[in-house]
Structure 1
Amino acid sequence: MNSFTYTGLPARVVFGVGTTAALPDEVGALGIKKALVLTTTHQKAEGEALAEILGNASAGVFSEAAMHTPVEVTERAMAAFKTAGADGIVSIGGGSTIGLGKAIALRNDAPQVVLPTSYAGSEMTPIIGQTEAGKKTTQRTLKVLPETVIYDVNFTLTLPPKMTVTSGMNAIAHAVEALYAQEANPVLSLMAEDGIAKMTSALARVQEAPADIDARSDALYGAWLCAVCLGSGGVALHHKLCHVLGGSFDLPHAETHTVILPHALAYNAPAIPRAMEALRRATESDKPAAALFQIAQSAGVPTSLEELGMPQDGIARAVDITLENPYFNPRALERDALVTLLENAWHGHEPAT
């Protein structure tokens, strides 16, 4: 076995069905006296329900969280935090809301309790992405890692089947890249393979029975494992492309991951033989990239950048931005090959190895 380094991240996890009941105790354990509850506009009702559970420990609800964590939204949230006399954060939602909580914590080091309602995985990472003037930038710092995560399977039962698939594919992407990222190691590889296997199996079952507790539990557990991979491991070409497409063209986060993942994996496949072995086991397919593409296709979710509103004439610009500040990748980034990758993704072609 080769030498490796594994860094475990300090986070408390409460997992199960009905675990939201533990929220007041978890907030109190962090010494939070007044928690500002964060949501998107669409999940304001869920945020208000949490504020009621918190009672006197609630500092109100801020419901303007948005995709890609726009800096201007964060500035409004900071003002609300100060005005309410808050000293902590409770975030309920997916990547948009969790990202906003992280952005606040980055600026004032406020403790965070997170209740995920999707499989995006941001809650388990010390990574924050923020968008300003049309560009999304990311950084890694423990200041933004939530202190406590409450996984309540009940919150995922009403996640629509199509949204379940795109959110699940977003999670799978974290684990796929952990298998061949620069920080890859045997511990994360075990988590990644199991996370991908749990999620791919659960996605098929959820399509048939969206309220199946066991399927939803497996999906959320798989998402947790995939998120740990993202938080403790690293990323490569897939995440770079998604950051570029999301930040520069305002494409929806989970759907962009869904479209790009099979193509980015196919691009790297020749350079990652051991990772491909693990992916064949996890997906139970000889062609993992095609298997991931077919999961999206069979669920009727977008499989092309064209469907997401990406202009075809933006492909060259996306490649330029990708090459300006590239992430580590096991295969060298070749301009013509990247253009072909994005052209295939734009048209929605099945990935070519």
Structure 2
Amino acid sequence: MKFVHETSPQRIRFATGDAAGGVAAEIGLLGAQKVMVIAAAAERDIAESVTAGIAVVLRHDEVVMHVPVDVAVRARAAASRADADAIVCVGGGSTTGLAKAVALTTGLPIVAVPTTYAGSEATNVWGMTEGAKKTTGTDPKVLPAAVVYDASLMFSLPVDLSVASGLNALAHCVDSLWAPRANPINAALAAEGARALAAGLPQIVQDPRDVEGREQALYGAYLAAVAFASAGSGLHHKICHVLGGKYDLPHAQTHATVLPYVLAFNAPNAHGAEERLRTAFGSSTGQAGLQALRQALDAPRALRDYGFKEGDIPAAVDDILHVAPATNPTPVNADNLARLLKSACEGSEIE
């Protein structure tokens, strides 16, 4: 073996039913006295409950998908005016993304409290959009100092969004198996994350308030994000970042829709990844396992359902080709990428 693996410095606290206690403990460890709370208006009640035991100087609720630059600028200015010394973000990937955008320029430490399975809370990756282009990067300043996971906060997440968000997490697992910095350690994390997500998500569909299902999905989402943070962005994420920024497609649903087509595209030339997924799903092949899971979950099927049109494919192909990893298992060109996007647009059956 010959590889380099980097582990992110971060405290993780699983505290089902006690997010408020976990947040108070983490803020206490930071010694923060002027906390900026970032949470969308829809998460206001949860955020107030979770942050009841800390000194809040500002509650900021301008949260927008894909973090437009102007939204980030206003949040940074608000943090400066309030003289905040820490951030608590309560919500999904867009909320965590905004907290990261503030931390990127201010250096403020973040305590993240996820309410979806997005995984952004466990990575040092930031992303912002401007002029229909999404720019991403990595910086240690944006990695939350601590994450408080409370599965009970997921009870209010509708089943369809739970499925999309969970499959977004699964995409982190799959992409980590062939991303530019893939190695045996993050592959092991990704495989266990896929197993946990495949176990937990069907339980959530059957009973949205099933604690075990929610905990398994949350545990899997965390492992998925850690694997992704180490391995980097593979072809799947490069495709979805272009589509999300350029066409303002919903993040989780886009990932959930594109995933099976990227797996089918790469699987013939990624035998190690296929074997790990086969084992994780307990299926004859990784592709068969993913398809069976998607069927059980009634997963999103077609990008056209979210506003992507066949006429958008040529421009999308041009942008994706500029960022597609050279190390992708199946070499990417304009023709095979266009076929992949056409299939994902239509929701075609995968052979």
TM-score by length of structure 2 reads: 0.96
Residue 242 of structure 1 aligns with an amino acid whose one-letter code is C
Asked if 1:179 is matched to 2:190, the reply is no
| 1:192-207 matches, cutoff 5 A | 192-207=190-205
> 3-state DSSP class of the match of 1:69?
coil
Contact 2:197-2:221 at 8 Å conserved across structures: yes
* Runs (5+) with no aligned partner, structure 2: none
Residue 35 of structure 1 aligns with an amino acid whose one-letter code is V
| Alignment size in residue pairs | 349
Asked if 1:259 is matched to 2:291, the reply is no
Corresponding residue for residue 75 of structure 1:
73
Q: Report the CA distance between 1:297 and its aligned residue.
A: 4.2
> 3-state DSSP class of the match of 1:330?
coil
Corresponding residue for residue 349 of structure 2:
350
Q: Report the CA distance between 1:294 and its aligned residue.
A: 4.4
| 1:303-314 matches, cutoff 5 A | 303-314=301-312
Aligned equivalents of 1:99, 1:279: Cα separation in 2: 29
> 3-state DSSP class of the match of 2:53?
helix
Corresponding residue for residue 248 of structure 2:
250
Contact 2:5-2:230 at 8 Å conserved across structures: yes
Corresponding residue for residue 3 of structure 2:
4
Structure 1 residues 15 and 51: alpha-carbon distance in aligned structure 2, compared to 1, 3 A threshold: closer
* Runs (5+) with no aligned partner, structure 1: none
Contact 1:293-1:350 at 8 Å conserved across structures: no
Residue 113 of structure 1 aligns with an amino acid whose one-letter code is V
Contact 1:242-1:260 at 8 Å conserved across structures: yes
Corresponding residue for residue 144 of structure 2:
146
Q: Report the CA distance between 1:135 and its aligned residue.
A: 0.1
Residue deviations 1:9-62, cap 9 Å, x none?
Answer: 0000001312311212211211211111001222122223334332xx101210
Contact 1:181-1:330 at 8 Å conserved across structures: no
Residue 255 of structure 2 aligns with an amino acid whose one-letter code is H
Residue deviations 1:318-347, cap 9 Å, x none?
Answer: 100001232342221111111110110011
Aligned equivalents of 1:351, 1:238: Cα separation in 2: 16
Residue 255 of structure 1 aligns with an amino acid whose one-letter code is Q
Aligned equivalents of 2:349, 2:41: Cα separation in 1: 35
Q: Report the CA distance between 1:118 and its aligned residue.
A: 0.7
Q: Report the CA distance between 1:216 and its aligned residue.
A: 1.0
Aligned equivalents of 1:291, 1:246: Cα separation in 2: 26
From 206, 209, 214, the equivalent of 1:208 is: 206
Asked if 1:17 is matched to 2:19, the reply is no
Aligned equivalents of 2:161, 2:172: Cα separation in 1: 17
Contact 1:263-1:289 at 8 Å conserved across structures: no
Contact 1:114-1:149 at 8 Å conserved across structures: yes
Larger displacement relative to structure 2 (322-331 or 343-352): 322-331
> 3-state DSSP class of the match of 1:307?
helix
> 3-state DSSP class of the match of 1:256?
helix
Corresponding residue for residue 318 of structure 1:
316
| 1:90-169 matches, cutoff 5 A | 90-169=88-167
> 3-state DSSP class of the match of 1:164?
helix
Aligned equivalents of 1:31, 1:351: Cα separation in 2: 53
Residue 41 of structure 2 aligns with an amino acid whose one-letter code is T
Residue 330 of structure 1 aligns with an amino acid whose one-letter code is P
Corresponding residue for residue 42 of structure 1:
42
Aligned equivalents of 1:169, 1:10: Cα separation in 2: 26
Asked if 1:332 is matched to 2:331, the reply is yes
> 3-state DSSP class of the match of 1:86?
coil
Aligned equivalents of 1:98, 1:348: Cα separation in 2: 30
Larger displacement relative to structure 2 (79-88 or 333-342): 79-88
Residue 39 of structure 2 aligns with an amino acid whose one-letter code is T
Larger displacement relative to structure 2 (92-101 or 175-184): 175-184
TM-score by length of structure 1 reads: 0.95
Structure 1 residues 194 and 51: alpha-carbon distance in aligned structure 2, compared to 1, 3 A threshold: closer
> 3-state DSSP class of the match of 1:257?
helix
